[in-house]
Each structure stands twice: as structure tokens, then as C-alpha cells.
Homo-oligomer: A and B are copies of this chain.
Amino acid sequence: MTDSATAAAALTAKLEVRDAVSPEEKAIIGRMFSDFRTIAAGDDIVRDGDRPTHSTLVVDGFSARYKVLQSGDRQLTAIHLPGDFVDLHSFLLKEMDHGVVALSTCRIATVQHTTLQHITQTQPHLTRMFWLLTLIDGAIHREWLVSMGRRPAIGQMAHLICELYLRLQSVGLTQDMSFNFPVTQVELGDLMGLSSVHVNRTLQELRASDLLSWRSQTVTILDWQRLEDLAEFDKRYLHLVKEPR
């Protein structure tokens, strides 16, 4: 499969979970990506303050949005899986107000903003689908706010695992109850607003309760029901429902 076809397939898969994608739309998506590149883990995909002329899609690998404070403390505000745009919002926001870092080696593809502009002029339904993608980003942000504000660390961790499992499952990246998740405990801490030491202890608690196992970057959920209960996980916020939009 060509790079272009792989990128298109990843995006189309994500869209088709939520609505029908017409042959014409598939053709447009099939032609829209260019500039395929591989980014090393730890490198920036987009930098804070940039004014990109294109938006970037993750074709393979994990990346994250982040902001850094003067103290050096870092907060990751979103995590991107294959098929996710890392900065579709830069099309209209123009200036990046955060960076995007590759958490693992990432294969990426880009769409020119001029192409997106043309789509908004001629493809109302496809425009709404892209708008929808950014709305789901927002819904996830809200759920993370609840996790950070009101869930204890173990509930927050459980919630994150539930979310990742469903998001990965929706794009075919789970095997039974497990998935690959190549992040360190420091990164997990930056994701959840915790110290890496506390992440470590929280994970031990989850393992001791036989809720999950996590070895060599593979997470296996051992008891979905109890994990979901612990997290008070309600998947409606992921909007994994296929209907006309």
C-alpha cells in the first residue's frame, strides 16, 4: 500500500465509525495527503508558535499535544493514535498555542490548508466530518478535565486505559483485550498531571487488583467490568456512533 493510501485508510476508518463516507469523499481523502515523513520518538511534529500551512495526520505511532511551564513541568493535553489529526485546528486557529511531540517513532502525512479550504468551499458534508473530529477532541478534553479535577489517581489511570482501549479498538489496533502502548511512566505522569513516582505506585495498585497487566509496552485489560466501574467510564463521550452528521 502506498503512503497516501495508508493515510487515507487510517482517516477513513476513523470517519466511518461515525458516519457514512461517500465514494466521492473517499476519492478526495485518497488524494489529499502528501509529504510523508517519519519522526523519531521525542522529536516535535509541530512547535508551539508555529503557523503551519498544512495539518498533520498520524499514520502510525503515538504522539501528544503538550505545553511546558517555566519550571520545566510539562502537561500533555491530548494523545493521538493512528488516524488522528494532531493539528487539524491549525487550519482555522492559524497559530499553534502548543507543541506536538512524537511519543514513539511516528509516520505522518500532511494536508495543505489550501486543500482544506477548498473542501470547505465545495464539500459541506466532508467539512462537517472534519469539524466533528475536532469536536470529539474537545469532548475528550472535557472528560480529561473531569479526571484531573475529580477522579483519584487510580480512577484517572483506569479511565485513560478504558479510553485508549476503545479508541484503538475503533481503528483496529487492539488484540483481544490488549494493545501496544509505548509510553514511559514519566510521560504517563505528564499525561495525567501526576509525578512518575505516583504513576508507578498507581500502576502497581491496578496490577495488584488484577485489573490489568502492563509489560514491555503491552497493556492487557484483565477485568474490563471492574476497570470500567473503578473509572466510572461512560463511553458516550467518544461518540462512536454511526449516524448522519
Contacts and interface: CB of A to CB of B under 8 A. Distances in A.
Given A127-B127, A132-B92, A236-B95, A145 B144 contact: yes
A22 interface: no
Interface string A49-72: 100000000000000010101100
A77 interface: yes
User: By DSSP majority rule, is chain A's interface helix, strand, loop, or mixed?
Assistant: helix
Nearest to A141: B141
A149 B150 contact: no
A134 interface: yes
Interface stretch (A3-11, A165-173, A219-227, A237-245): A237-245
Contact of A134 (B74, B75, B134): B134
Contacts of A42: none
Give the number of times this chain occurs in the complex, counting copies. Answer: 2
A228 B145 CA distance: 22
A21 to B, nearest CB: 15
Contacts of A137: 138
Interface string A93-115: 11101100000000000000000
A149 B144 CA distance: 10
Nearest to A137: B138
Contacts of A128: 92, 120
B145 A94 contact: no
Nearest to A235: B97
A150 B73 contact: yes
Given A75-B150, A149-B193, A151-B69, A241 B142 contact: no
Contact of A75 (B120, B136, B149): B149
A94 to B, nearest CB: 6
Nearest to A194: B149
A20 interface: no
